[in-house]
Amino acid sequence: MTQIMARFTHTLDSRKKVPMTGRVYLRAIVPIGACFSLSLICGNLTYLYLSVAFIQMLKATTPVAVLFATAALGIEPLNTKTLGNVALIVIGVVIASFGEIKFVLTGFLFQLGGIVFEALRLALVQRLLSSAEFKMDPLVSLYYFAPACAVMNAIVALIVEIPKMSFDDIARVGYLTLLLNAFIAFALNVSVVFLIGRTSSLVLTLSGVLKDILLVFASILIFRDPVSGLQFFGYSIALGGLIYYKLGAGKLKDLAAQGQMAWADYGARRPVMRKLIIFGIVIVVLFLVLGGIGSSLPKDYVKDTGNFAKGKLGSLLGEKGS
């Protein structure tokens, strides 16, 4: 029992590396609050200009920004091999940007700023949780930098949003909706700091790949956001780069072999379901690619092409009739 108490006391003492004075708070905590607020502001403004699908495609470059941010702050050295791997993500996002139908430069710049501030925030949180100088528990860190974030957001809201808002606007949204939104945001921040404390900020960004994919498909199905074939192709490259960076070549080969064996076993047990799954995947891909290509073409071009096709068909029918 004495040894357990001594170890517990030693753990508490080891966490108190630096007392939380006003100078330490300004140096270590306030920058996190500033980056968090700027990330929220830029990210929210982006939705006024760009589609949800394109925003998620741009967010695929967040691991690249985190890589540079951790290297600039001296948290992790910049690996040339890693940089080459994530360059594939950037190439895919660039292709997707060229294929974007509703490209707005203002929204693109806002999203770019949001990615940079988010990367800085994640890197600063990682340094706060893992460095010998500022090492502390995830919940303790959230306790310290949450007030700074609230103050920053309140200042911006008082200047920008409050003069344009009224209680009728809040009532239209719904008080319960706002309360649930705040609770989910709090739970998200708690889970984020726990994940960063156990792993790293880069793992956090890479673990959001599935979320981004689901958001892109939800944006297409729910909001009817147009996605061109070139955009779909570029985003596929970016996702492939993310998965390769996260797992590595060796792990991907092992997973591919296991997946191939499982798929062959499933096909032997349920051949009809396997054919239906393949047919469904082909239909979805054709719908996304052909639908995106059709929506990316100008309406006049589609109309002229249709008239040309009708004319050709009419002439052929006329020749056959004569």
245-304 pLDDT, tens per residue?
766 667 767 777 887 888 888 888 888 888 888 888 888 767 655 655 444 444 444 444
Total number of domains constituting the chain: 2
Q: Are residues 192 and 78 in the same domain?
A: yes
Question: What pTM was estimated for this model as a whole?
Answer: 0.62
Q: Are residues 253 and 275 in the same domain?
A: no
Q: Are residues 292 and 149 in the same domain?
A: no
Q: Are residues 87 and 197 in the same domain?
A: yes
- At residue 17, the pLDDT reads 56
- At residue 296, the pLDDT reads 47
Q: Are residues 157 and 58 in the same domain?
A: yes
Range 211-217 contact pairs with CB under 8 angstroms and sequence separation of 24 or more: 212/56, 212/57, 212/59, 212/60, 212/239, 213/239, 215/52, 215/53, 215/56, 216/52, 216/53, 216/56, 216/57
Q: Can you say whether the dihedral through the CA atoms of 15, 16, 21, 23 is positive or negative?
A: negative
Q: What is the domain range of residue 210?
A: 2-257
Out of 233, 257, 281, a domain closes at: 257
- At residue 10, the pLDDT reads 46
Q: Are residues 56 and 147 in the same domain?
A: yes
The three-state secondary structure class of 281 is: helix
DSSP state for residue 200 in the 8-state scheme: -
- At residue 27, the pLDDT reads 82
Q: Under a CB-based contact definition with an 8 Å cutoff, are residues 64 and 92 in contact?
A: no
Q: Is residue 265 part of a domain?
A: no
Least-confidence region, from 11-20, 91-100, 130-139, 141-150: 11-20
Least-confidence region, from 15-24, 85-94, 225-234: 15-24
- What is d(CA 88, CA 66) in angstroms, rounded to the nearest whole number? 15
Q: Are residues 145 and 9 in the same domain?
A: yes
Q: Is residue 264 part of a domain?
A: no
- Sequence-distant (≥ 6) Cβ neighbours of residue 135 within 8 angstroms: 14, 15, 17, 129
Q: Are residues 82 and 229 in the same domain?
A: yes
Determine the residue type at 298.
P
Q: Is residue 262 part of a domain?
A: no
Q: Are residues 59 and 142 in the same domain?
A: yes
Average pLDDT over residues 70-86: 78
